[in-house]
Amino acid sequence: MPPDAAAPLTELDPGAPAGSDREPADQGHADEGAHPDVLGSVGLVAKLRAVLRVRDFRKLWLSMSLSSFGDWLGLLAITAMATTLVDGFAASNFALGGVLLFRLLPAIVLGPLAGAFADRFDRRKTMVITDVIRFGLFASIPIVDNLVWLFIAQFLIEAFSLFWIPAKDAAVPNMLRKDQLEPANQLSLVTTYGLTPVLAAIVFAVLATIGGQAQKVWPSVDEVDLALYLNALTFLVAAFVIWNLPSISGRRSGGAVTTQESFLRSLVHGFSFAGHTPLVRGLVVGITGAMAAAGVIIATGQAFANALGGGQAAYGLLFGAVFIGLGLGIALGPSIARDLARERIFGLAVAVAGVMVLLMAWTFTLWIALLLVVLMGFFAGIAYLAGFTLLGTEVEDEIRGRTFAIVQSLVRAALILSLAVVPFGVGLIGRHSLDLGLLTVPVTGERIMLFVAGLLALGVGIIAYRQMDDGRPVPLLADVVTALRRDTTARRRLAGGGVLIAFEGGEGAGKSTQVRKLQEWLTNEGLVARATFEPGATPSGAGIRAIVLDKAHAGISSRSEALLYAADRAQHVHDVLRPALDAGEVVITDRFVDSSLAYQGAGRTIPLDDVRMLSRWATEGVQPDLTILLDLPPEVGLARARGRAAADRLESESLDFHQRVRRTFRALAEAEPDRYLVLDARESPDQIAAAIRVRIAELLSGLPLQQLTPAVPAQSNGTRVQDGELAASGPHRPHVQTGTTPQLHP
Ligand SMILES: Nc1ncnc2c1ncn2[C@@H]1O[C@H](COP(=O)(O)OP(=O)(O)O)[C@@H](O)[C@H]1O
Ligand SMILES: Cc1cn([C@H]2C[C@H](O)[C@@H](COP(=O)(O)OP(=O)(O)O)O2)c(=O)[nH]c1=O
């Protein structure tokens, strides 16, 4: 008897090895893939590490970070330079404004053009060429050393950046899996707006001290010049890195893509795509409106800080609070929103950010304003990440560059427009106050403008939401509440459809036995329950099963084996699982995706990510609602299986193979505890079945599922006659109808 068999049958703690015959879970084993971190687990750090493990993305990210650092350093240097190249307060303010204007201006004109370029020409070459040109331009600024050239160079640098950015944005989704794009965007945004500006400020300060020393040796070079040279250099390095990343070219590596479309037509096509695709239209409206609102906030910031009675210090705090909020939103958003559709999150987050601005407009206390600003930033960060990710995942490669470019043009146009218009508005409205008897409300230009910005964001948020949310049956509030509460049962209830239960475990664990018992019990309870299995539950699947299990096929390669199981699974989902789930049945499958992860992944040592991708493709995203892992030392299971029949091709694998399989199953369960029930398969069949029933009763209660109404004739005492439908359908036919599942009897 196993050492812990006397204990009541509870969920195993897969992390804690209990018996002497269990291996401690992955202690420095070579099969890195079996560690829970890599198994699609939840941690942000784990996800970021997985993304950075993609070599090409890692290189691109490093070079991007370097350029971004250079850019911030350059911006600091150029603004410092612009103010020193002219005399007087007004003139230096003008120079500062000029630099910013020249940075934003080109986008409006050139942006869409650049996007069409990115979609048409080799993206890698586009990026390398523009990097080299920007290297030259940045280096030329300290050499020419004059304000007019500074403006011109700025304009040109920005113009070339416009070609670089959509090429990069459009290339990244091709390097990663769809589900990796969100963490990748988190990483890029945090680096570009969180890490590199701080680093640049520090380096600039250091250069300022070194600059003094350098000037003694080389009088014409000061810290601004040093910063600009350094910046120039970062672009040269980036060019070199990108040149060595052929994957950026993708299928464009043959040079210009030969399409019949003229450049102009492709440009027009880009706009018409953005205008006619509800998702993209929603994103464009939302992002542009939110940016206009952001412009208003920037433009009224000083006046608002003064109105709160805080002056420069308050302004600094408010400014910092925006970034704190943005950072939090980008870092935490996905783990909070979890499985809420990104299409919904985007509009919602923009609208909520708008509400924060509305409230802020009538705030009179600094700390409340700070709190609202952090919240505004938080929701804006969530929206930004969701929007950017959707553009990457939902827009096809051919048109992605143009879409990104249109967005970036509109964003800049919106920013410029509101930066230019708002100060006039503030001046025009002036300062009044409204006497409401008890209290006097100040009605000032900046508050009205903030209020308008809040309304604008709220409005575009709602429009975006409507555009992007075409006909989802789940009401928004319930959707959000259940997602935030992580209530998967409630979410299922909302989504409707059946329930998929998967049994997993090694050979001879007792899966078939338990599948049968569970199906019998559910049927007795009046539910439509279907038992099925992998591999081989469909006619073509049966052929595949014969191949994969036949020992005569010893030469099947790992990849071929993985594809065969995936093919069987695709057919299984298509013919059996999907239709049954759509009809609201409870479907119980003996083995599913986890078997591939364990056997082909850890067993055959194919990278788990590849197996997972293959499975996701095969299943079109169908996932078990609950996976029951019957955990057992492989020796015990293999002995049981041998008692049953001759060993098949996989059963004949080494003990080490089966131990890897078991470890992977356990690690998968550990990574997502609420989707798994792990049971000790050495218990008696009846004990195991009882534990399963308890969990299933909990899972199914309240769900709208297909139910059997008894095929007995309506009884004369009338207890059954209340069921009008049953009486009408005739006495002898078993009848099926959808209804709320009552509490089951485990
Ligand atoms: N809990 C259990 N304890 C002992 N033997 C079991 C148990 N469950 C099933 N068996 C036996 O082990 C063998 C394999 O069971 P089966 O359900 O076919 O496993 P699987 O489908 O996981 O390969 C069968 O002979 C079965 O009767
Ligand atoms: C579904 C699936 C099964 N397998 C293996 C595991 C089993 O050895 C075999 C399935 O045979 P089966 O007879 O169903 O095994 P069991 O009786 O143990 O459930 O195929 C994979 O390797 N990958 C997969 O994706």
Residue 520 lies in a domain: yes
- Going by pLDDT thresholds of 50, 70 and 90, the confidence category of residue 207 is confident
Partners of 709 in the beta sheet? Answer: 735
The confidence score (pLDDT) of residue 339 equals 74
Q: How far apart are CA 552 and CA 559, in angstroms?
A: 18
- Site to probe by mutation for ligand 2, drawn from 595, 614, 661 as the one with most ligand atoms within 8 Å of Cβ, is 595
The minimum-distance atom of ligand 1 relative to the CA of 505 is 22
507 and 453 housed in the same domain: no
The confidence score (pLDDT) of residue 89 equals 57
Q: Model confidence over 428-487: pLDDT tens digits?
A: 888 888 888 877 888 888 899 999 999 999 999 999 999 887 666 677 777 787 777 776
Q: How far apart are CA 358 and CA 356, in angstroms?
A: 5
Buried b (16+ CB within 10 A) or exposed e, 451-460: bbbbbbbbbb
**Mean per-residue pLDDT, 637-655:** 83
219 and 288 housed in the same domain: no
Q: How far apart are CA 92 and CA 115, in angstroms?
A: 34
Give, using CA atoms, the residue closest to atom 22 of ligand 2.
599
User: What is the DSSP annotation of 159-190?
Assistant: HHHHHHHHHHHHHHHHHS-GGGHHHHHHHHHH
The confidence score (pLDDT) of residue 463 equals 94
506 and 630 housed in the same domain: yes
Residue 730 lies in a domain: no
The minimum-distance atom of ligand 1 relative to the CA of 515 is 17
Residue 217 lies in a domain: yes
Torsion over CA: 436, 441, 444, 450 (sign): negative
Cα–chain-centroid distance for residue 612?
17
Question: What is the whole-number distance in angstroms between the Cα of residue 629 and the centre of ligand 1?
Answer: 14
CB of 508 within 6 A of ligand 1: the answer is: yes
CB of 685 within 6 A of ligand 1: the answer is: yes
More confident of the two residues 486 and 128: 128
Q: How far apart are CA 642 and CA 652, in angstroms?
A: 10
- Site to probe by mutation for ligand 2, drawn from 591, 594, 597, 615 as the one with most ligand atoms within 8 Å of Cβ, is 591
CB of 186 within 6 A of ligand 2: the answer is: no
Residue 384 lies in a domain: yes
Q: Which residues contact 362 (CB under 8 A, 6 or more apart)?
A: 441, 447, 451
- pTM of the predicted model, to two decimals? 0.64
Q: How far apart are CA 571 and CA 41, in angstroms?
A: 28
Q: Which two tokens stand for residue 679?
A: 């049971």
Q: What angle do CA 123, 140, 216 make, to 5 degrees?
A: 135
Closest CA to 495 of 527, 473, 469, 466: 473
440 and 303 housed in the same domain: yes
Residue ending a domain, choose from 201, 225, 251 = 251
- Please say whether the beta carbons of 135 and 430 come within 8 A: no
Q: Is residue 301 over pLDDT 60? A: yes
Residue 3 lies in a domain: no
H or E element at residue 288: helix 278-307
Q: What angle do CA 71, 165, 286 make, to 5 degrees?
A: 105
- For tokens 């057919």, name the residue: 571
The confidence score (pLDDT) of residue 173 equals 87
HSE-up (13 A, CA, CB side) for residue 6 = 1
The confidence score (pLDDT) of residue 138 equals 92
* Ligand sitting nearest the alpha carbon of 502: 2
For the purposes of burial, counting CB atoms within 10 Å of the CB of 717, is it exposed (0-12), middle (13-18) or buried (19 or more)? exposed
Above 0.90 for ipTM, yes or no?
yes
Q: How far apart are CA 501 and CA 55, in angstroms?
A: 37
Residue ending a domain, choose from 427, 457, 486 = 486
Task: Give the β-pairing of 676-680 and 704-709.
Answer: unpaired
Closest CA to 111 of 67, 169, 53, 177: 169
**Mean per-residue pLDDT, 10-26:** 35
What CATH number should be reported for the domain holding residue 275? 1.20.1250.20
Q: How far apart are CA 12 and CA 628, in angstroms?
A: 11
Question: What is the whole-number distance in angstroms between the Cα of residue 531 and the centre of ligand 2?
Answer: 16
Residue 329 lies in a domain: yes
The SS3 of residue 458 is helix
Q: Is residue 712 over pLDDT 60? A: no
Partners of 503 in the beta sheet? Answer: 590, 628
* Ligand sitting nearest the alpha carbon of 510: 1
The minimum-distance atom of ligand 2 relative to the CA of 590 is 19
406 and 512 housed in the same domain: no
Please state, in angstroms and as integers, the Cα–Cα distance from residue 74 to each residue in 83, 153, 203, 276, 338, following that order. Answer: 14, 12, 11, 39, 38
CB of 688 within 6 A of ligand 1: the answer is: yes
504 and 430 housed in the same domain: no
- Please say whether the beta carbons of 142 and 224 come within 8 A: yes
Question: What is the whole-number distance in angstroms between the Cα of residue 529 and the centre of ligand 1?
Answer: 21
Q: How far apart are CA 138 and CA 418, in angstroms?
A: 29
Q: How many domains does the chain have?
A: 3
Q: How far apart are CA 599 and CA 538, in angstroms?
A: 21
Closest CA to 293 of 355, 362, 366: 355
**Mean per-residue pLDDT, 505-530:** 94
Residue 509 lies in a domain: yes
Q: How far apart are CA 14 and CA 175, in angstroms?
A: 34
The confidence score (pLDDT) of residue 669 equals 92
559 and 611 housed in the same domain: yes
Q: Is residue 106 over pLDDT 90? A: no
Question: What is the whole-number distance in angstroms between the Cα of residue 605 and the centre of ligand 2?
Answer: 16
The SS3 of residue 88 is coil
Q: Model confidence over 415-434: pLDDT tens digits?
A: 878 877 887 788 888 888 88
Round to the nearest angstrom and report the end-to-end CA distance of the chain. 26
Q: Model confidence over 316-334: pLDDT tens digits?
A: 888 888 888 988 999 888 8
Residue 78 lies in a domain: yes
Give, using CA atoms, the residue closest to atom 8 of ligand 1.
510
458 and 511 housed in the same domain: no
466 and 602 housed in the same domain: no
Please state, in angstroms and as integers, the Cα–Cα distance from residue 453 to each residue in 146, 311, 361, 370, 416, following that order. Answer: 38, 22, 9, 17, 15
Binding site for ATP: which residues? Answer: 505-512
213 and 265 housed in the same domain: no
Give, using CA atoms, the residue closest to atom 4 of ligand 2.
595
More confident of the two residues 725 and 172: 172
Q: Model confidence over 482-504: pLDDT tens digits?
A: 777 776 666 666 666 789 999 99
Lowest model confidence (mean pLDDT) among 126-130, 176-180, 258-262: 258-262
What CATH number should be reported for the domain holding residue 560? 3.40.50.300
The confidence score (pLDDT) of residue 563 equals 96
Please state, in angstroms and as integers, the Cα–Cα distance from residue 711 to each residue in 9, 355, 583, following that order. Answer: 36, 57, 20
The confidence score (pLDDT) of residue 444 equals 87
Residue ending a domain, choose from 430, 451, 486 = 486
63 is in which domain, residue-wise?
39-251
272 and 150 housed in the same domain: no
Task: Give the β-pairing of 440-444 and 431-435.
Answer: antiparallel
CB of 536 within 6 A of ligand 2: the answer is: no
Closest CA to 203 of 321, 132, 195: 195
Q: How far apart are CA 232 and CA 523, in angstroms?
A: 72
137 and 79 housed in the same domain: yes
More confident of the two residues 642 and 722: 642
